Amino acid sequence: MTAASQPAERPVLKIAPQPGPQQQFFESLADIVIYGGAAGGGKSWSLLVEPLRHISNRRFGAVIFRRTSKQVFNEGGLWDEASELYPKLGAKSNMVEATWTFPAGASVSFAHLQHEKDIYIYQGAQIALAEFDELTHFTKKQFFYILSRLRSMSGVRPYVRCSTNPDADSWVAELIAWWIDQDEFLPDGVTPNRRYGLPIPERAAVVRYFLKDGDRYIWGATREEVYEQRPAGKKIEMRDVKSLTFIPAALEDNQILVQKDPDYRGNLLMQDAVEQARLLDGNWKTRKSAGMYFKRTWVEVVDVVPAQARRIRYWERAATEPNPDNPDPDWTRGVLLAQAPDGVVYVEDVIGLRGAPGEVEKLILNTAKVDRERYPDIIIGIEQDPAAAGKAEANSYLKLLAGFDVRMFPVSGKGQKVTRFSPFSAQAYGRNVKVKQGLWNQEWFEELEAFPTVGVHDDQVDATGGAYNALNAPSKEEKPRASAQDVKNIQTAFMRRLKGR
């Protein structure tokens, strides 16, 4: 056979962890490994690769959980990543079952636990490997219930692997507290500890042992130490003691991502202060509190705003006058926001009123006339309740402001105020916001710095964040990767599979 006629050598697929935390993740023998901290540490990829060590075992089955089915099938999510990797090992997918089956018969399934009651779908199930992507999204009950389903006839000792990002208020923060610096101050009791909330380096990947007694954890350095502390009156065996470790990871630990997507770090820097501390630094103590989303020191006060800029006057409306039953009602606020060609954001003017609906309409109309004389291309943005009453009110404003460039922005979910304000907060934190000097400055500064304090007005917060979001809303021409019907079909099939297991 000539060299030209010889069959070409098949390419070798090499799958290996990166040195550091990812390698520690794959080498750990703990029953439960929680891998996480900052974003971009290669956590989800690690969850997808972990089951591959067992794919020659025909009786092996792994389940990878996300909180919702949509998160499984999001663009670039777990299913997409599996679709890139698993076929190279001969796996075949079943979209209806959300399962990959390998040539020897081993399988990896994707599932969700959107509602707490979904855990009971797994009564009687036998899971050799349970994996949780974004563990803080799950409830404590969901996690420990699935642990009770860890049984296997495959010869593989059942175990758990998890990925997570920090959440100071989650049950996970309590579970991994030993691995996190809990000292807010240095030993002198005065100097702030800069490592407060960050992983303790020398404890990374160290295995500890625990028993769960109701809502209490019994910890020890060895299995025997925990067993000796077992609750009296309960039948506890040595093998009931579980081993657990936490392995922190940072973006710098994933050099493949850093090189492949050098802009990813910049995307994290665009987040507000709270999300930066969590996703970039991996801090487990940062909470959403007053002063975390805005500080006046983040912005520059200027006398002049560039004439060449895109502008919007955005209205957060209320229609109640102060009265004995409600002496301090919400305000109607109109924020004039400009964005210059270089991307710098200017808060140019804020006006407000507490009055009846007719007074509010008069203020908005008169302000629109004044604004248009100065800026002919200005947009008027008005928040709209998505309910039927909101649509009727929107039509009323469209008639009132006939001839102006009016745009309605449906807004729902009072619990999403932080989410809506975060993009503007990120701009301010990144020193990309300037404020035009005016009598309204002090009140505006105070309200934004107090956000999100319960009981403190946030009308200017809503109007400011709404103005920035409206001015930077995606183009209507942008289309999703899949149609809404496609997504619905996938989710319906997914739910049908879960109900029938």
Domain ranges of the chain: 21-279, 296-471
What's the predicted TM-score (pTM) here? 0.62
Dihedral (Cα; 214, 216, 178, 193), 10-degree rounding:
130
The tens-digit pLDDT sequence of the chain (501 residues) is 344 555 555 566 677 778 888 899 999 999 999 998 777 667 888 999 999 999 999 999 999 999 988 888 888 788 999 999 999 999 999 988 899 999 999 999 999 998 888 898 888 778 899 999 999 999 999 999 999 888 888 889 999 999 998 988 899 999 999 999 999 888 888 777 888 899 999 999 999 999 998 889 999 999 999 999 998 888 889 989 999 999 998 777 667 666 777 776 777 777 777 777 777 788 888 876 777 889 999 999 999 999 999 999 999 988 777 777 777 788 999 999 999 999 999 999 999 998 888 999 999 999 999 999 999 999 999 988 766 566 778 888 889 999 999 999 988 655 588 889 999 999 999 999 999 999 999 999 989 988 887 677 899 999 999 999 999 987 554 333 444 454 455 445 444 444 444
pLDDT of residue 483: 47
Report the pLDDT value the prediction gives residue 126, as an integer from 0 to 100. Answer: 81
What is the CA angle 209-215-219, rounded to 5?
Answer: 20
DSSP state of 406: E
CA distance 46 to 41: 9
What are 348's two structure tokens?
């140019």
Exposure of 189 in the CB half-sphere (CA atoms within 13 A): 0
What is the rounded distance in angstroms from the CA atom of residue 469 to the CA atom of residue 227? 55
- Looking at 3.20.20.70, 3.30.70.600, 3.30.420.240, 3.90.79.10, the CATH number of the domain 296-471 comes to 3.30.420.240
The predicted pLDDT at position 454 comes to: 67
The CB-based long-range contact list for 206-209 (8 Å cut-off, 24+ gap) reads: 206/179, 206/245, 207/28, 207/29, 207/30, 207/243, 207/244, 207/245, 208/178, 208/243, 208/244, 208/245, 209/241, 209/242, 209/243, 209/244
pLDDT in tens, 49-63: 999 999 999 999 999
Q: What is the pLDDT of residues 235-270, one digit of tens each?
A: 889 989 999 999 998 777 667 666 777 776 777 777
Rounded Cα gap, residues 404 and 365, in angstroms: 10
Query: pLDDT value at position 487?
Result: 45
CATH code of the domain occupying 21-279: 3.40.50.300
Q: Are 9 and 216 in contact (CB under 8 A)?
A: no
What Å distances lie between residue 49 and 91, 112, 295, 358, 401, CA to CA?
13, 19, 43, 62, 58
Helix 357-374 to helix 388-400 angle (10° resolution) is 50
Alpha carbon distance 239, 223 (integer Å): 8
Give the CA count within 13 Å in the CB-facing half-sphere of 351: 13
Q: To which H or E segment does residue 211 belong?
A: strand 208-213
Q: Which residues are bridge partners to 333 per DSSP?
A: 316, 352
Distance in angstroms (rounded) separating the CA atoms of residues 210 and 501: 32
